[in-house]
Amino acid sequence: MEDFIKEVLVTEDQIKKRVGELGKEITGEYKGKNLVLIGILKGAVIFMSDLVRSIDLPISMDFMAVSSYGNSSKSSGVVKINKDLDCSVEGKDIIIVEDIIDTGLTLKYLYENLKKRGAESVEICTLLDKPERRKVDVPVKYRGFVIPDEFVVGYGLDYSENYRNLSFVGALKKEVYS
Ligand SMILES: O=P(O)(O)OC[C@H]1O[C@H](OP(=O)(O)OP(=O)(O)O)[C@H](O)[C@@H]1O
Ligand code: HPA
Ligand SMILES: [Mg+2]
């Protein structure tokens, strides 16, 4: 085990199985719709790339980049758009794809922002949900795993841009980030 990881919270096999289930669920619910998956850079990239391949429907993909954590393990609370969508979402059925919902501040901002752009429907799909830290409520439709209040890395999630390429999700040892 990597010496910066305190505990593996979600294994590679668990992720594979759950992503397959989410893909099936979405496939069943979006037949005949104009589905656009919007991945939130950078954390959602790995989840998004596995999720889209488990959806058996014609879809399109777009991306936004926002930041609130920067190089820290604490949210600044201020969400800034660093890259906006390339395409209009008017009349589309969109699913926002995130790696984690923690305080909820990022997704709350994105959800409200995207709802104003004339989409037919807006839903949220997050791989991880850390409910103990929630500051604002957000309507999550698809959820991979509920996790305890630990700072986690891997499968897209970083601390100071490191560890995104781990194939599992693990709790980072406190001494690494404090
Ligand atoms: O619910 P919240 O407390 O707002 O936290 C969740 C957000 O924080 C992380 O993004 P970050 O700003 O670290 O950018 P990154 O995806 O590039 O790592 C994560 O990917 C979510 O977007
Ligand atoms: O636990 C976390 N790990 C990495 N990035 C995050 N952004 C919000 N919470 C987390
Ligand atoms: Mg981050």
Give the ipTM of the model, two decimals please.
Answer: 0.98
Cβ–Cβ under 8 Å, residues 122 and 91: no
Please give the Cα distance from 97 to 41 (Å, whole number).
10
- Region 154-172: mean pLDDT is 97
Pick the range with the lowest mean pLDDT from 27-36, 65-74, 129-138, 152-161. 65-74
Contact 124, 106 (CB under 8 A): no
Highest mean pLDDT among 12-16, 67-71, 73-77, 105-109: 12-16
Nearest to 150, CA basis, from 128, 129, 172: 172
What CATH number is associated with residue 106? 3.40.50.2020
Tens digit of each residue's pLDDT (9 = 90 or more) over 10-43: 999 999 999 999 999 999 999 999 999 999 999 9
Active-site residue, from 50, 93, 102, 158? 102
CA–CA separation, 136 vs 134, rounded Å?
6
Any domain includes 41: yes
pLDDT band at 69 (very low <50, low <70, confident <90, very high): low
Q: Is the peptide bond before 16 cis (omega within 30 degrees of 0)?
A: no
In a domain, 75, yes or no: yes
Lowest mean pLDDT among 4-13, 62-71, 111-120, 158-167: 62-71
Q: Is residue 156 part of a domain?
A: no
Ligand nearest to the CA of 131: 1
Domain presence at residue 55? yes
Q: Does 94 fall in a domain? A: yes
Range of the domain at 19: 12-149
The pTM assigned to this predicted structure is 0.96
Ligand index nearest the alpha carbon of residue 67: 1
Residue 178: band (very low, low, confident or very high) from pLDDT cuts 50, 70, 90: confident
Tally of domains within the chain: 1
Question: Pick the residue with more confidence: 39 or 78?
Answer: 39
Active site residue 102: yes
Q: Which of 45, 46, 68 to mutate to test the pocket of ligand 1 (most atoms within 8 A of CB)?
A: 68
In a domain, 79, yes or no: yes
pLDDT given at position 45 = 98
DSSP sequence for 128-148: EE-GGG-SS----SEEEEE--
- Beta carbon of 151 within 6 Å of any ligand 2 atom: yes
